[in-house]
Structure 1
Amino acid sequence: MEGLIVKSTTWNGETCKIGMPDGGVGIAVNAMERDKYCFWSIGGYNLKEERHWIWKGGELHVGDKIEIEFAEFDEATPPVLKKPHSCPNPPKKDDSPENWQFKLKTYQKLKKVLEDEGLI
C-alpha cells in the first residue's frame, strides 16, 4: 500500500508507517499563536469500515521536527484509535424562498468577484 512514513522528535525517534488499503490518510497541524499552542495529528477514513483511524500526533514546541516520506510498504503501524463516523449536527434542508434568495444573492456576489478578477 502507499502511505506515509512519519518520524517525529516528539516520539523519541520512533517511526510510524501510516496507511490503509481502503482509504486515505492525512496530517493536520494546528497552530494557535494567540494561545501559544500547536498540535498535530495523523488520521484517515476507512471507507470499508466507515471508521476514522487515528495515529499518533501530539503537542508541538519550537524546535520539534516532523519528517514525512511518501512510500510504499506492506503493513502499516496499527492506529491508536478507530472510531465510527458521526455527524453531531446534520444539515437541515431549507427550501424556503427566503433561503433561495439568500443563496442567489451570495452566488451573484461571488460571481462578480471572480469576473472582476478575470477568473471567469
Structure 2
Amino acid sequence: METTTLITCNNSVEANLIKGMLENNGINSFLTNENFTNLMPHLNGVLGAGVQVMVDKKDLRMAQELLEAQRNTDETICPDCGSNNITTGLGTNGFKKIITVLISLFAWIPFGNLKRTHYCKDCKTEF
C-alpha cells in the first residue's frame, strides 16, 4: 500500500472531519502529525506543519474529487447581513501582524500561525 498526502489541515478537528467524510465514501485514510500539531499549534504555519490526511495512491483521485465537491458547496456568508460579498485579508490588526513577523524574523523566534480573517464588503463586518 503506497500512501500519499491528500491535504494538510490547520487542526485535528478539520482533519478528522475530512477523514470521516472519506470513510463514509469508502476511502480508507489516516492522520499524521496530529500530536505535534495539538502540542504546538503556534507552529502550524511553519515548515509545512499541520495534520496531514493520508490516503492510498489508488484512491487519491476519488478523494480529491470529494474534497473539491465539498469546497464548492462551502460558500462563506457574512454572519451579520447574509451577504456573500466577502474578501479575506490580515484584518484590522494587519499592521500589528506584519510588525510581529518582522520582529520575530530579527529575533529568530517563530511567530506562529497568522490566520487570515474574512471581511464583508457590504456591512464592513470582520469575522
TM-score greater than 0.5 by the shorter chain? no
TM range (shorter): under 0.3
What is the TM-score of this pair, normalised by structure 1?
Answer: 0.28
- Structure with max Cα Rg: 1
Which has the larger helix fraction? 2
Q: TM-score, normalised by structure 2?
A: 0.27
